Amino acid sequence: MTETTVSNFFRVDGADSETGQETFLVLRAKSKPHAERLARKQGLLIHSVRVAKRSDWQDAPTSAATAVPVELTDESTGKDQDVELEHKPLSPSAPLEKLPSPSAMRSASSNSTATIMLSFIGGALVDGGVLAQTLALWPDNGVRNELEEIDFRLHELSEAVLGSSLLLGGIVVLFLAGVIFSRNQQ
């Protein structure tokens, strides 16, 4: 059985700089060097850094804590600053309950992209339908013989059917975009 990794979480093994006791931290960071920097700030002499596995939370010492840092940019200097938002004791299931899976994060971003694309497509279809309906219903009182009149009426009918189809298709696509958007919000 292979263990899956949790995105952006790193296990940093080392020793406490004050007591010398072997320990490890599970940190949320952008990269391994970022995780090392955060662990040093918490007083850990680093031995190794690797991507965290689900079992790391179960193996964690009861006194260990997870730091969830966020990079903030200082407006005046333009340099990144590390700020810890949370510092909670680990429990075997705590991080797994609160964090979305990597596949859920990918599907959420693809769903938001799909919502935007479907909205544009639906809007274009509705606009095309309105334009086709307008052209079909535009008054034209030209002088025609019977054959030309039949041809003109068939042309108006085909434009009306096209416009109605485009409008209906646009409404369906916009409805689909709304369904995907509402699923993203839940």
pLDDT digits 0-9 by tens, 111-145: 678 888 889 999 999 999 999 999 888 888 888 89
- Mean pLDDT, to the nearest integer, of 149-159? 91
Give the whole-angstrom CA distance, residue 117 versus residue 103. Answer: 21
Q: How many domains does the chain contain in total?
A: 2
pLDDT tier, 7 (very low <50, low <70, confident <90, very high otherwise): low
Same domain, 114 and 58: no
Which structural domain, as residue segments, surrounds residue 64? Answer: 5-99
Same domain, 159 and 134: yes
Contact 11, 56 (CB under 8 A): yes
Same domain, 28 and 50: yes
Q: pTM of the entire structure?
A: 0.41
Same domain, 69 and 122: no
Structure tokens at 48: 């190794």
Q: Is the pLDDT of residue 79 over 80?
A: no
Same domain, 31 and 91: yes
Q: What is the pLDDT of residue 163?
A: 93
- Mean pLDDT, to the nearest integer, of 59-63? 56
Same domain, 86 and 144: no
Same domain, 78 and 161: no
Core vs surface per residue 48-72: b (16+ CB within 10 A) or e: ebeebbeebbeebeeeebbbbbeee
Selected residue with higher pLDDT from 20 and 67: 20
Same domain, 95 and 108: no
